[in-house]
Structure 1
Amino acid sequence: MSTVIEAHRPGMRSMLILIGAETKMVVRDTAGLVVPLGLPLLILLTSASAAGRTEIVNGRTALDLFVLPLVLAMVTATIGIINMPSFLAYYRRSGILRRLAVTPASPVMVLAAQAIVSLMQAAVGITLALVVATLAFDANPPVNPGAAIGVVALTMAAMYSIGMIVAAVAPTPNSAVAAGLVAFFALGALGGMFGGRGGLPEPLAEIGSRLPFGAAVDALSAAWAGTAVEGGQLLSLGITVAVGATVAALLFRWE
């Protein structure tokens, strides 16, 4: 009589081990670890003194309303659009996803573990920026913290959706980094990363405010000021999540 051995799907312990392995990979990638944390901090340090301490609304200064939202958007964008896709492209290129597909473990577990580690890295970057801004420049917390947390979460989802499109179409890790950099700087430039949107031609400034980076900066600024976040900004981020997830699902290949 033949014995049938059923394969059991990995449980939570396996997922935790995979998250630990992904964390080690991120930590060992020096550039991928330093840039998302260091570049926003550099922008913060160079812009904070110029922002001034004049109160603009509800006791919040230009640092609170313009610099901090920009820095937080940069943290999530660099991790979601540049870092995460390069890891996924490497796993596909090296055949890891294909080999996982024939084991009880699912390649989806790798995607989930990488997303969780990316979220952890973004949380570290955001916390570091807020701590430095508060201790060194007396930055103020958002008037509406609930709205700020919600916007940050939606911004993360939007940036990671864009990153999944990059991961879906990039054949190699280097091409994923290159495509991610192009997308990051294009969205950032239109969204006010290089001196605000006031210096852009009006049509480009309007487009930038509707794209996810600009919408995230404006929505975070509103949350810090305690004013209502515009529905158009939330709609922009929500559409980015929906479109990005759909396109990535249609184009993504495991090998």
Structure 2
Amino acid sequence: MNTGTEIRRPGFAAWLTLIACEARMVARDTAGLVVPIGLPLLILVMSAATASGEVVINGRSALDVYVMPLVFTIIIATIGVINMPSFLAYYRRTGILRRLSVTPASPAMVLVAQVVVSVLQTLVGLGAALIVAIVFFDARLPVHPGTALGVFVLSMAAMYAVGMIVAAISPTPNSAVAIGLVAFFALGATGGLFGSIDSLPEPVAAVGEWLPFGASSQAMSAAWAGSPADPAHFVALGVAIVTGVVVAAALFRWE
């Protein structure tokens, strides 16, 4: 039966418009735009002077094997765990998601658009760090670039999965930032953010290896050094992705 009313779903142009709007929102958030890129670059510059002159393995320096994986992991984690959840919590708090639910545009479109913009911001941060390291400190690319690319993708997915849990349980934007910061530093503290993993107590280091931050940085380090990849790191990232999606789907509310 034809009722004469046809619901038109948003097309490609609508998706592009929404992504562009999300990009403008991110660009206007000065702290959220600068800190995830500027802070890791500062860590890179401060560490590169000494680390770039110490050859570790396969012609790769300590800068390549240790500093670059850490910097890349910080960029991915900061954007995925802190930035993205705060935007989603803001949209829920202001009723944007609720209003979208009664239009042909689903609230899920905002989620997808935010993830797309976050991925683009992450790629900008990773590219900036890589260019600075190569041009100014003679850094080299990973011995196993394919493995490194796979780790980047899994790391972004795992960190965004953690970020979705943060967004799901945060009633306000400020609480999203606070919870995101706690999660970021908790993951980072067990994953080598504040020093070598070897300096951590053995139980803490063992736990950190199975959490997204530690698994990401160690898997990237292996790819840069040309060492055999530890399957446990990929399993840990996969578990984080599945757990984040399941928990966020169960707890997330559009209003």
Distance in 2 between the 1:38 and 1:189 partners?
Answer: 20
Q: Match of 1:235, as an amino acid?
A: V
Deviation at 1:52, TM superposition (A): 4.1
Distance in 2 between the 1:214 and 1:48 partners?
Answer: 21
Is 1:168 aligned to 2:168, yes or no? yes
**Which residue in 2 is equivalent to 1:122?**
122
**Which residue in 2 is equivalent to 1:43?**
43
| SS of equivalent to 2:179 | helix
Deviations 1:187-232 (A, max 9, x none): 0111001112222211111111221101101100111111221000
**Which residue in 2 is equivalent to 1:67?**
67
**Which residue in 1 is equivalent to 2:211?**
211
* Structure 2 unaligned spans of 5+: none
Deviations 1:22-55 (A, max 9, x none): 0000000000000100111011011111314232
**Which residue in 2 is equivalent to 1:87?**
87
- Select between 55-64 and 198-207 the one with higher mean Cα deviation: 198-207
Is 1:99 aligned to 2:99, yes or no? yes
Distance in 1 between the 2:204 and 2:50 partners?
Answer: 25
Distance in 2 between the 1:53 and 1:91 partners?
Answer: 47
Deviation at 1:4, TM superposition (A): 2.7
**Which residue in 2 is equivalent to 1:227?**
227
TM-score norm. by structure 1 comes to 0.98
- Superposed structure 1 runs of 4+ greater than 4 Å apart: none
Aligned residues: 254
**Which residue in 1 is equivalent to 2:56?**
56
Distance in 2 between the 1:240 and 1:210 partners?
Answer: 9
Deviation at 1:3, TM superposition (A): 6.7
**Which residue in 2 is equivalent to 1:143?**
143
**Which residue in 1 is equivalent to 2:245?**
245
Q: Match of 1:186, as an amino acid?
A: A
Q: Match of 1:36, as an amino acid?
A: P
| SS of equivalent to 1:246 | helix
**Which residue in 2 is equivalent to 1:18?**
18
TM-score norm. by structure 2 comes to 0.98
Distance in 1 between the 2:54 and 2:123 partners?
Answer: 29
Deviations 1:230-254 (A, max 9, x none): 0000000000000000000010000
Would the aligned equivalents of 2:81 and 2:162 in 1 still touch at CA under 8 Å? yes
Describe how 1:26-41 pairs up with structure 2 within 5 A. 26-41=26-41
| CA RMSD in angstroms, aligned pairs only | 1.1
